């Protein structure tokens, strides 16, 4: 591992775009959040810090708060031959000082590999949950449920109501900011809402790629939960994809999210074995 005397740290700006892009494509160690925007789109946000060895960008760390009181670790990338623990030591104190000053209540990370966990634990992060992936591969789609409400395509005019609905349904670190929800809607292959007497009670947003579809967001307004609206949205979207010829639909949820797991398992979603630990750190902010 390189131990250079020529370290410096700075806040990244748009002029660092090419160097960061080069680091991202060659990094030996990289933690990247499941995000709706690309890492380079975070450059105008803060904290986005880079570690330099002379003029060479050898590490970067970004955790801009979103939602406002939560700083997810969105990227932590380290060049080959540099130590992740050492680069973390250089970058994290500045990052945490900045988010704490902005009244962020907690930092969080959704891990994809084992290498990062010991570093996070050394800085007080705790393993609080796991996110698992499930998959539905239907020979035939589930039978549509008797309509409890009407499922229809989400329209741009619905977005404000959906933002409100989403914020009432999700707690804590799982909330989306309005901007993130707009990004999710922009990337949707199928976005639907379920309504009753013209009131939106739930919604889902799904994406599609060559690998299949992914149900990315599902929520029902708390007063209306437990009455089958969530399940109706999932059944409907599987049917919509099936009729487009998309037979594989994946989803992810937390292992302690019993309501959603019950829906997915009952509808024939099977665990893929993919499991991503969630680490959280409470801050004083
Ligand atoms: C997950 C969510 C969308 C489910 O919507 P919903 O309309 O409440 O769900 P449904 O009524 O269609 O079905 C829920 C199932 O869970 C069961 N359920 C309800 N509350 C439960 C609880 N506390 N524990 C276990 N099961 C529960 C219901 O009985 C039903 O099962 P059944 O069909 O066997 O009777 C909703 O709870 C929600 O918005 N949660 C917060 C956001 C969230 O976590 N989204 C999912 C992210 S993947």
138 versus 200: the higher-pLDDT residue is: 200
Most informative mutation of 226, 249, 261 for ligand 1 (most atoms within 8 A of CB): 226
Ligand 1 centroid – CA 23 distance (Å)? 42
Ligand 1 centroid – CA 60 distance (Å)? 39
Nearest protein Cα to ligand 1, atom 12: 228
- Other CB atoms within a 10 A radius of the CB of residue 39 amount to 20
Backbone angles phi, psi at 251, to 5 degrees: -155, 155
Nearest protein Cα to ligand 1, atom 43: 219
Q: Is 223's pLDDT higher than 70? A: yes
Q: Span 270-277, mean pLDDT?
A: 96
C-alpha closest to that of 267 among 229, 220, 232: 232
Q: Is 3's pLDDT higher than 60? A: no
Q: Is 79's pLDDT higher than 80? A: yes
So what's the pLDDT on residue 195?
Answer: 95
Most informative mutation of 172, 176, 259 for ligand 1 (most atoms within 8 A of CB): 259
Nearest protein Cα to ligand 1, atom 10: 228
So what's the pLDDT on residue 212?
Answer: 96
Q: Span 103-107, mean pLDDT?
A: 95
Ligand 1 centroid – CA 211 distance (Å)? 27
Average pLDDT over all residues of the chain: 94
- Other CB atoms within a 10 A radius of the CB of residue 135 amount to 17
So what's the pLDDT on residue 144?
Answer: 78
Is the peptide bond prior to 68 cis by the omega test (within 30 degrees of 0)? no
So what's the pLDDT on residue 186?
Answer: 97
Grade residue 148 by pLDDT with cuts at 50, 70 and 90. confident
User: What DSSP string runs through 51-117?
Assistant: EEETTEEEEEEE---SSTTEEE--EEEE-TTS-HHHHHHHHHHHHHHHHHHTT--EEEEE-SSSTTH
Atom of ligand 1 nearest to the CA of 234: 12
Q: Is 39's pLDDT higher than 70? A: yes
Element (H, E) at 282: strand 270-282
Atom of ligand 1 nearest to the CA of 232: 12
pLDDT tens digit string along 153-176?
A: 999 999 999 999 999 999 889 999
Q: Span 112-133, mean pLDDT?
A: 97
So what's the pLDDT on residue 5?
Answer: 66
50 lines ligand 1 (CB under 6 A): no
So what's the pLDDT on residue 208?
Answer: 97
So what's the pLDDT on residue 4?
Answer: 63
Atom of ligand 1 nearest to the CA of 226: 11
User: What b-and-e string marks burial along 243-269, b requiring 16 or more CB atoms within 10 Å of the CB?
Assistant: eeebbebbbbbbeebeebbebbeebeb
- Other CB atoms within a 10 A radius of the CB of residue 141 amount to 20
231 lines ligand 1 (CB under 6 A): yes
Ligand 1 centroid – CA 102 distance (Å)? 34
pLDDT tens digit string along 230-272?
A: 999 999 999 999 999 999 999 999 999 999 999 999 999 999 9
pLDDT tens digit string along 8-38?
A: 999 999 999 999 999 999 999 999 999 999 9
Atom of ligand 1 nearest to the CA of 259: 16
So what's the pLDDT on residue 2?
Answer: 56
Segments in the chain forming alpha helices (H): 17-26, 84-101, 117-122, 159-169, 178-186, 229-243, 258-266
Domains assigned to the chain:
7-124 (3.40.630.30), 132-276 (3.40.630.30)
Q: Is 1's pLDDT higher than 60? A: no
Ligand 1 centroid – CA 166 distance (Å)? 14
Question: Strands 29-32 and 75-78, how do they pair?
Answer: antiparallel
Ligand 1 centroid – CA 194 distance (Å)? 15
260 lines ligand 1 (CB under 6 A): yes
254 lines ligand 1 (CB under 6 A): no
């Amino acid at each position: 591992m390189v131990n250079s005397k020529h370290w410096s740290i700075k806040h990244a700006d748009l002029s660092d775009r090419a160097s960061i892009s080069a680091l991202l494509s060659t990094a030996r160690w990289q933690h990247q959040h499941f995000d709706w925007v690309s890492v380079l789109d975070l450059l105008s946000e803060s904290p986005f810090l880079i570690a330099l060895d002379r003029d060479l960008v050898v590490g970067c760390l970004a955790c801009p708060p979103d939602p406002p009181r939560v700083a997810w670790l969105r990227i932590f990338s380290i060049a080959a031959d540099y130590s992740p623990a050492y680069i973390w030591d250089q970058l994290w104190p500045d990052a945490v000082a900045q988010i704490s000053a902005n009244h962020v209540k907690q930092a969080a990370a959704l891990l994809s590999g084992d290498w990062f966990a010991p570093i996070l634990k050394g800085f007080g992060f705790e393993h609080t949950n796991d996110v698992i992936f499930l998959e539905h591969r239907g020979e035939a789609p589930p039978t549509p449920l008797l309509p409890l409400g009407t499922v229809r395509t989400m329209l741009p005019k619905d977005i404000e109501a959906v933002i409100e609905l989403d914020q009432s349904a999700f707690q804590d670190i799982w909330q989306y900011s309005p901007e993130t929800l707009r990004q999710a809607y922009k990337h949707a292959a199928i976005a639907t809402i379920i309504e009753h007497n013209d009131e939106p009670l739930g919604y889902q947003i799904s994406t599609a790629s060559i690998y299949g579809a992914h149900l990315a967001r599902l929520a029902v307004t708390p007063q209306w939960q437990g009455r089958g609206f969530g399940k109706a949205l999932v059944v409907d979207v599987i049917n919509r994809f099936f009729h487009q010829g998309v037979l594989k639909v994946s989803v992810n949820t937390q292992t302690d999210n019993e309501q959603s797991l019950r829906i997915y398992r009952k509808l024939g979603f099977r665990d893929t074995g993919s499991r991503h630990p969630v680490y959280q750190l409470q801050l004083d902010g």
